[in-house]
Structure 1
Amino acid sequence: MEWAKFIFNKFFFVGSLLVAAMFIVIALAVHIWQTTDEGKLPAKTAVILHAVNNNLVSLDIDIQPPQFLSRSSGGGNPLLVEERYVPVKDDGQIPVRMYRPQGEGPFPVILYYHGGAFMEGYGNIETHDNIVRSLAARTQSVVISVGYRLAPDYVFPTAVEDSYAALLWAKEHAEDFQGDPSSIAVAGDSAGGNLATVTAMMSRDRNGPDLTAQVLFYPLTTFRDIELESREIYDSGYYFLSRQVMYLARDLYTPNEMMRSNPYTSPLHADDLSGLPPALVITAEFDPLRDEGEKYAQKLADDEVPVQATRYRGVMHGFISLYEIMQSGRYGLQEASAFLRQAQEGEIEQMPYQLQVRQPPQGMDRAREQAEAFAIAAYLLGRTGVDIFRR
């Protein structure tokens, strides 16, 4: 029995050393990935950025084996999903996808405009399916994801006109899909955030539908070359959006330089934003579009539009779409959903403008984020054997 106990103790000791060594390697890898020229990143943000930028997973974060990491919007009855086509100018038509709660309604209506730099191959209805589904479930609204036409085949103002045509169609046909034509909002991310607010402007200018709200996730608000600190610091592409892509989008979507001064491409420079619906503007700390989004929120407030603006620290461009694995993304969706519900009830009031800064997850949420970051790192290292010193 003594020899068996001796062998067991030896194996236990060696096993403990191996576990400790593995933990040290994982911790070292995470620490290295967190360290950037722009400052120290939260562990979860660092691991995701490392994985995507080193092509270890796709941009839709295909980290499937540790499935406990992925949390859906969950709960409630499944949504009814329907594909339709909306007529637009030039005798064309565009696809839309409707996500509708079960029941008789009428339900509030939200037009959602996907991001993707206005260009083919960078974003579409499919790439934004998760965020639109979650908004529909959380707000109990009919959310219509709009497949507007993209550059280079279609330049400005095609995407804007398509977006507005979808709004008019939704207003006219709301009752056909249990929607409430008196409660319509617009929302979008990045390029789609631009289209959402521009659609609201066009509706105001053309005496179109009155909107209850506009929700803008890290919106692009100017095509002009102006000095913005966030564009200088975070334009490398490591944070999911590069200066190269921004220039390409500008050249393809607005090939004529005069287009870039149009308020329907650069709403930040519009003469008058008054009369627009209440706005929620969410920005990300590590995002080249951060400053122009926050300047736009300030300009809306200056023109007496009720505005709620929040900067989320420790996250990158596109973080809302990663809500299934990032707590900050879930926070952002919760904030957007609460804002939309309040707007639907007419409860948004004019308040003095103030940019709210939301800190990275704290307490138990922070502990969980840390644990999940280490689990993802272990999975990535185990699956690829990648050099941990590569950023």
Structure 2
Amino acid sequence: MLLVSVTALAVTGAAVYLWQTTEEGRLPPKTAVILHAVNNNLVDLDIEFNPPKIISGDGSGGASRPSILKESFQIPVQGGGDIPAVMYRPRGEGPFPIVMYYHGGAFLEGYGSIDTHDNIIRSIASRSSSIVIAPGYRLAPEHVFPTAAEDSYSALQWAERNAESFHGDIDRITVAGDSAGGNLATVTSQIARDRSGPDIQAQVLFYPLTTFQDVPLASREVYDSGYYLLSRNVMYQARDGYTPEEWMWDHPYTSPLQADDLSGLPPALIITAEFDPLRDEGEQYAERLHAEGVPVRTSRYRGVMHGFVSFHEVMQSGRSGIQEASAFIRQANNEQLLFPDEFAVQVKQPPQGIDGVKEQTEAFAIAAYLLGRAGADIFSSELGE
């Protein structure tokens, strides 16, 4: 029995070491294990990964969660149609701050929805003590630009008009989103500025897409394989589907990085990931905001991939990203935001100390779980046995 246990531990350790080794750099164990699982179809990319509860936790970091209510409904948009939406809100009379959350998914049918991003939406609602409204939006290729942008703005207008009915505070509205949804969040801020409202107090952008133009960006070249959960091929599909005509690539409501005027936009928090094709354009957008007088904080999380916040139940860095965003929203709600005078990207290191040991232990436990599911043959061949 002891020999079997030692052998299993050795195989698990060798597998994790192998998964950590990439051409782009050495990955932390937890990142390596999750990427291996996703890329080998051992778990679904829609975050339905449920490892043993002893290692997954609830994503709350041990904090008790306030009681929140969930409601699904429809929001009317231009052209007489409707888009689906979900709302999480605290119990009580409020009025509560409002967060509009726009989900990622490359603007394309089948790549993301309010359902695939429910864990982020729920966690931000719980941690920020805010009402979080997450609208869907009509997707490409059936619906091209500017449909998604206009749907996102229509949802913001709906929230302002109906705030009293769900105990929302229209003087404290934040927009947020990830990837394509990060694009829509900051684009919605531009539209609201250009059309005289609704007023937005802050924006939170997780690894946002900020340009459809062909510009030299090192991160797009280095991390374009798709192994880090976003590929060059998907980015081209998004551009071909959502912006099929080249003039659309230059529009400020698709490529805010190249917009002529970014002044007057809400204060921003921009979170990027080290191993992500969208890293550089997110950070360059932050720098442009700063140059145009928009207060901005920028954090790069080392050792993680595109979409890492979606894995916050099983990744400490994901939890840290959610916590940073929620704290920023709370500070905005209480008019307590502070920003550095000079632009800088604050680098967030992978978990250290006890947290680092815990992450590594969990990574090995998850790896053993995956090895058991997949069978020894697959991994024996990988290890050259």
TM range (shorter): over 0.9
What's the CA shift string for 1:217-251, capped at 9, x where partnerless?
Answer: 00000000111000001010000000000000000
The structure 1 residue matched to 2:181, chosen from 186, 192, 204, is 192
Counterpart of 1:346 in structure 2 is 335
Pairwise CA distance, 1:17 = 2.2
Matched, 1:145 2:130: no
The structure 2 residue matched to 1:364, chosen from 319, 330, 354, is 354
* Structure 2 length-normalised TM: 0.96
Pairwise CA distance, 1:355 = 0.5
Counterpart of 1:40 in structure 2 is 26
Larger Rg: 1
- 1:41-120 alignment, distance < 5 Å: 41-74=27-60, 75-120=64-109
Pairwise CA distance, 1:78 = 2.9
**Counterpart-to-counterpart distance in 1, 2:194 and 2:9:** 60
**Counterpart-to-counterpart distance in 2, 1:328 and 1:35:** 19
Q: What SS does the aligned partner of 1:90 have?
A: helix
Counterpart of 1:355 in structure 2 is 345
Matched, 1:248 2:240: no
* Structure 1 length-normalised TM: 0.94
- Whether contact under 8 Å (1:222, 1:269) holds in the other structure is yes
**Counterpart-to-counterpart distance in 1, 2:351 and 2:195:** 43
**Counterpart-to-counterpart distance in 2, 1:69 and 1:159:** 38
Q: 1:78 to 1:313 in 2, by over 3 A?
A: same
**Counterpart-to-counterpart distance in 1, 2:92 and 2:232:** 46
The structure 2 residue matched to 1:219, chosen from 208, 222, 247, is 208
- 1:1-391 alignment, distance < 5 Å: 15-74=1-60, 75-351=64-340, 352-386=342-376, 387-388=378-379, 390=382
What's the CA shift string for 1:31-67, capped at 9, x where partnerless?
Answer: 0000001111000000010111011111134443521
- Whether contact under 8 Å (1:314, 1:360) holds in the other structure is yes
**Counterpart-to-counterpart distance in 2, 1:76 and 1:56:** 30
**Counterpart-to-counterpart distance in 2, 1:277 and 1:27:** 47
What's the CA shift string for 1:255-311, capped at 9, x where partnerless?
Answer: 010000000000000111111011000000000000000000000000010100000
Q: What SS does the aligned partner of 1:381 have?
A: helix
- Whether contact under 8 Å (2:297, 2:339) holds in the other structure is no
**Counterpart-to-counterpart distance in 1, 2:112 and 2:122:** 16
Pairwise CA distance, 1:349 = 3.6
- Whether contact under 8 Å (2:226, 2:232) holds in the other structure is yes
**Counterpart-to-counterpart distance in 1, 2:241 and 2:326:** 33
Please list every run of 5 or more consecutive structure 1 residues that lacks an aligned counterpart in the other structure: 1-14
Pairwise CA distance, 1:21 = 1.4
Pairwise CA distance, 1:71 = 2.3
**Counterpart-to-counterpart distance in 2, 1:206 and 1:344:** 23
Please list every run of 5 or more consecutive structure 2 residues that lacks an aligned counterpart in the other structure: none
- Whether contact under 8 Å (1:194, 1:221) holds in the other structure is yes
Counterpart AA for 1:50: H
Pairwise CA distance, 1:350 = 4.5
